[in-house]
Structure formats: C-alpha cells, structure tokens
C-alpha cells in the first residue's frame, strides 16, 4: 500500500490522524487459545502429537502466549499439557487455564506450565445460576487461587468471565482484588459475544479510568471475544484501539459455538490497517491455518478472510483484468504476505482479456475473434455444468461434512450410563 501512496495512486484513510485513537498501542502481543477454546469446537479432539505440532507452529510464527490445554479436564489432557511444557517453546509462554479452584491450579503446576489464566465469572447472572455463590464468596475464591499460584512462582492472569454483562463497580472490584493478590494481567471477556464495538470501547475506557487513572492499578489488559453476532474481530480491534495489548485469538476463528476472534484476521488487520507490530511472521499464517484445519478436521469456508480458498481468487472478468494490470486493483494486500498465491477462476464471468493473457502465457496465437469464441465457450461450459449440479449430491456432501464432527450421541451416552449404573 505504501508504494501506491508514494506514487499518488491511492489514498489510505487508515492513516488519517483523526481516525486513530490516542490509546492505540505501538506493539500488541498475540495470545493464542487454539489448543484450549479452539479445541472446544464441537466434535474436535486433538491427540498429544497434534497438540505438540500446533503449539510448535504457533511458537514458530511468533505467538507471545500459547494456551496449550486445560489440565483439569482429564488425565489425558493433563498429559498433553505436560508434554508441551516439557518440550518447551522457543519464544512463547506456555499457559494453561484454571477455574478459580485450588485443585485446578495444582493440576497446572503439576503439568509444568509457566503461566495460568484463572477464570471466574463476574456477572450476577452467572454467579447466581451457574456458580451459586455471592459476590463476596467469589472474591475470596479468586484471591485464594491467585495467591496460591503466585506462591508457586507462576505468571497469573485473571479472566473475568462474562465481563461485558457485569456490573462495572463489581467488575472493577474483581480486577483490583486480583491485582492485589498478584495477578500480572487482567482480561475483559465477551463470553457470549454480546456487545457492539462502541460498547466494547466504553467498557475498556471505563475499566482503564477506574483502575489505571483513579486507583493506580495499571497492569496489561487482554480481551477475549466470541463471534455469536459475527463481531469477534471487530470487538477485539475496538478493545485494542482503547489500549488493550493482549488479544486472545484462535486460528481459523475456531472455538465454542460460533467461534472466537480469528488469529489471522486480527494479525493482518493490526499489521496492515493499523500499522501495529504483532511480532508475527505473517508469511507463515497460511501454513498455520492449514495445519490447524487438518488436525481439527473442520473444513474452512471458501470465503473465509485471509485463509479461505477464495480469499485471493478472482472470478469476474473485470477483476481479473484489473489484477493483470496491477496486483492491488482488487486486492488489499499481496497474497505473498500471508504465504499464499493469487488464483483465477474460469467460469461464466471470465473476460476476454484474461483469456488472451492465458493464451499468451501458453504460447498460443489467436485472433481477436478466436479469443472471443473461446471466452464464450468457457462461459457456456460453466453455465451448462451448473445446470447438472445435483442438490441431492450437495445435501449428501453436507451430511458427510457433518459426520466429520465426532462426539458421543445421546443414545451412546445412555448406553454408557446403563453399563455403569
């Protein structure tokens, strides 16, 4: 984009000072949750070897924190976390989460991780109906667990679950309690993807004002956003605009329900639209995306930003012609920046200019009339092929994809129950 600007060929409004928050950080540290929240994608269950391979790749690309699993879930999960911790990552901090329960923290200690994000909800709704405890009981539990972790030499983060549906006074009291107990970072969690970007900004500003300015509780802030309304990426960027420096992300936007903020989208938006250093080697993003897709056995949508098959594929004749004259005509960035290459789709929208280009590249001479005839035949071929597509075949394919989502059916569950009881 910079070369175009120098040539006076493009305007980059992303650099207009009035559009940039005064709180925008110069450096952001990517906190990856692919092996924790990402693995909670329905149907996904990774092996230890798969977890190790993904963790190493995350470290290789420059991730700052890698949450490698949840030791309290099962013995197998604890072994996987311990294996990664023992393996060691070159640059990333190895983290494993814990509920605000001493036994969970002990499981993390036994697994040998460096960092433990402790999570417990702050919303009255969750306290009453899920945790069944009072605000005071929750604060006592939080303080005890953080102090226990610090006594054992851990980096401790506090994740305030359901932050965006919490009373602000109590939310900030939970944060100050955590910091007094020794928490190194705090996190605002939009656990059910419930807020708009402007609301996220409001929440971050309010927390910063109360903690950083009025109370002198200035510790780094993280943000965790879910995509229930398709706003995870937007809300994460909104939080960063207000000074958050640790965005939590998942590769390919995997995760519970509709997923989390996408690793590749956050990184490229920060690097290219904000000019913020993330420490990520962006040319390795596509390789990371495909590795995670393969191990999760969850196919990416074709139109997925950055990593989907169509992200750098051009179909329209107008677009294809534009790309042949200058690569940025219909692309915001070069595909090589994320380890990809440009592709062109031949179909009903193909243009004569692109056909002539292919002929030239193939060393074939053709008259203008022949080029037009070839173009028309390509269009007709695609249209005829489309007519033969079977909706039944499509439904079968969708069924096959659904079968990839492994798990235990209700029938199997009750069979297990009757065997045990």
Least Cα distance to 221 among 234, 232, 210 occurs for 210
Is 368 a domain residue? yes
Is 421 a domain residue? no
* b/e burial code for range 325-339 (CB count within 10 A of at least 16 → b): eeeeebbebebebbb
Q: How confident is the model at residue 317 (pLDDT cuts 50, 70, 90)?
A: very low
pLDDT per position as a tens digit, 180-233 = 999 999 999 999 999 999 999 999 999 999 999 888 899 999 999 999 999 999
Is 56 a domain residue? yes
Q: Are 254 and 329 found together in one domain?
A: no
Q: How confident is the model at residue 345 (pLDDT cuts 50, 70, 90)?
A: low
Percent of the chain with pLDDT over 90: 68
How large is the angle between the packed helices 48-61 and 285-296, nearest 10 degrees? Answer: 170
Query: Domain of 106?
Result: 26-296
Q: How confident is the model at residue 243 (pLDDT cuts 50, 70, 90)?
A: very high
Average confidence score pLDDT of the chain: 89
Per-residue pLDDT at 414: 86
Per-residue pLDDT at 316: 47
Is 70 a domain residue? yes
Per-residue pLDDT at 398: 80
Q: How confident is the model at residue 389 (pLDDT cuts 50, 70, 90)?
A: confident
d(CA 144, CA 249): 28
Q: Are 264 and 324 found together in one domain?
A: no
Hey, what long-range contacts does 169-175 have (CB within 8 A, 24 or more apart)? Answer: 170/122, 170/124, 170/135, 171/122, 171/207, 172/206, 172/207, 172/210, 172/211, 173/139, 174/122, 174/138, 174/139, 174/142, 175/207, 175/211, 175/217
DSSP 155: E
Percent of the chain with pLDDT over 70: 91
Q: Are 262 and 208 found together in one domain?
A: yes
Position 33 pLDDT exceeds 70: yes
The more confident residue out of 153 and 342 is 153
Q: Are 42 and 105 found together in one domain?
A: yes
Q: Are 291 and 317 found together in one domain?
A: no
Q: Are 226 and 355 found together in one domain?
A: no
Position 36 pLDDT exceeds 60: yes
Q: Count structural domains, the chain.
A: 2
Is 379 a domain residue? yes
pLDDT per position as a tens digit, 166-179 = 999 999 999 999 99
Q: Are 292 and 323 found together in one domain?
A: no
Q: Are 129 and 154 found together in one domain?
A: yes
Per-residue pLDDT at 1: 55
Q: Are 350 and 289 found together in one domain?
A: no
Per-residue pLDDT at 328: 61
- Enumerate the H helices of 123-193 as residue ranges: 124-126, 135-151, 168-181
d(CA 211, CA 244): 13
Report the predicted TM-score, pTM, of the whole model to 2 decimal places.
0.88
CATH number at residue 119: 3.20.20.70
Where does a domain end: 296, 329, 344? 296
Q: Are 338 and 192 found together in one domain?
A: no
Q: Are 332 and 290 found together in one domain?
A: no
Is 290 a domain residue? yes
Q: Are 165 and 283 found together in one domain?
A: yes
Least Cα distance to 241 among 264, 214, 273 occurs for 273
The more confident residue out of 316 and 153 is 153
């Amino acid at each position: 984009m910079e070369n175009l600007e120098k040539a006076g060929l493009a305007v980059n409004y992303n650099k207009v000072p009035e559009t940039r928050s005064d709180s925008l950080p110069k450096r952001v540290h990517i906190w990856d949750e692919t092996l924790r929240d990402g693995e909670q994608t329905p149907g996904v269950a990774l092996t230890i070897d798969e977890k190790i391979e993904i963790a190493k790749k995350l470290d290789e690309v420059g991730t700052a924190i890698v949450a490698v699993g949840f030791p309290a879930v099962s013995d197998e999960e604890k072994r996987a976390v311990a294996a990664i911790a023992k393996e060691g990552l070159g640059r990333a901090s190895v983290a494993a989460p814990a509920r605000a329960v001493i036994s969970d923290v002990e499981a993390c200690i036994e697994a040998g991780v460096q960092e433990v994000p402790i999570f417990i909800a702050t919303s009255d709704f969750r306290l009453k109906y899920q945790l069944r405890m009072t605000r005071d009981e929750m604060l006592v539990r939080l303080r005890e667990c953080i102090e226990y972790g610090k006594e054992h030499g851990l980096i401790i983060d506090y994740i305030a679950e359901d932050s965006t549906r919490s009373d602000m006074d109590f939310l900030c009291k939970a944060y100050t309690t955590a910091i007094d107990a020794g928490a190194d970072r705090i996190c605002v969690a939009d656990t059910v993807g419930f807020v708009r970007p402007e609301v996220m900004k409001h929440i971050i500003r309010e927390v910063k004002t109360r903690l950083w300015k009025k109370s002198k509780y200035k510790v780094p802030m993280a943000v965790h956003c879910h995509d229930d309304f398709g706003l995870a990426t937007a809300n994460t960027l909104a939080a960063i605009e207000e000074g958050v420096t640790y965005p939590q992300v998942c590769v390919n936007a995997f995760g519970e329900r509709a997923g989390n903020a996408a690793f590749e989208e956050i990184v490229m938006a920060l690097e290219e639209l904000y000019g913020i250093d993330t420490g990520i080697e962006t040319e390795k993003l596509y390789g990371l995306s495909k590795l995670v897709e393969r191990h999760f056995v969850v196919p990416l949508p074709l139109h997925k930003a950055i990593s989907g098959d169509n992200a750098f594929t051009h179909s329209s004749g107008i677009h294809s012609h534009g790309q042949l004259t200058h690569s940025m005509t219909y692309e915001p960035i070069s595909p090589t920046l994320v380890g990809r290459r440009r592709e062109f789709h031949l179909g009903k929208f193909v243009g004569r200019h692109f056909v002539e280009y292919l002929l030239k590249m193939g060393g074939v001479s053709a008259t203008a009339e022949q080029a037009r005839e070839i173009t028309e035949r390509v269009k007709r071929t695609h249209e005829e092929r489309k007519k033969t597509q079977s909706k039944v075949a499509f439904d079968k394919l969708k069924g096959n994809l659904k079968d990839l989502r492994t798990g235990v059916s209700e029938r199997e569950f009750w069979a297990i129950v009757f065997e045990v009881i």
